[in-house]
Amino acid sequence: MRLFLALPLSILLLFSCSRSAPVIQSHTAQHVLVQEPSGRFVERFSLFVYWTDADGAQDFSSITLTHQQSGLWWTISPEMAVTRLRGRDRWTGSNALAGPGGQPFPSGNYVLAVTDLAGNEAVRAFTVNTVTFPDSPPVSLSIEGGRWTLVRNTQYRDFTRTFFFLLDAEGTVIHSWRVPDSRNNTASGTIESLKTMTRGVAALQCYIENSSGSAGVLLLPVEVE
Please give the chain's pLDDT, 225 residues, in tens.
333 333 343 433 444 454 789 999 999 999 999 999 999 999 999 999 999 999 888 999 999 999 999 999 999 999 999 888 787 899 999 989 999 988 889 999 999 999 999 999 999 999 999 988 888 889 999 999 999 999 998 888 788 899 999 999 998 888 889 999 877 889 999 999 999 999 999 999 999 999 888 999 999 999 997
The residue from 107, 128, 149 where one domain ends is 128
Co-location of 52 and 101 in the same domain: yes
Which CATH number is 192's domain given?
2.60.40
CA 170/CA 81 separation, integer angstroms: 17
In a domain, 180, yes or no: yes
What is the number of structural domains in the chain?
2
For residue 186, give its domain range.
139-223
Co-location of 25 and 107 in the same domain: yes
pTM of the model: 0.79
Q: Tell me the sheet residues that pair with 204.
A: 166, 222
Co-location of 33 and 70 in the same domain: yes
b or e along 4-13 (b: 16 or more beta carbons within 10 Å of the residue's beta carbon)?
eeeeeeeeee
Co-location of 114 and 216 in the same domain: no
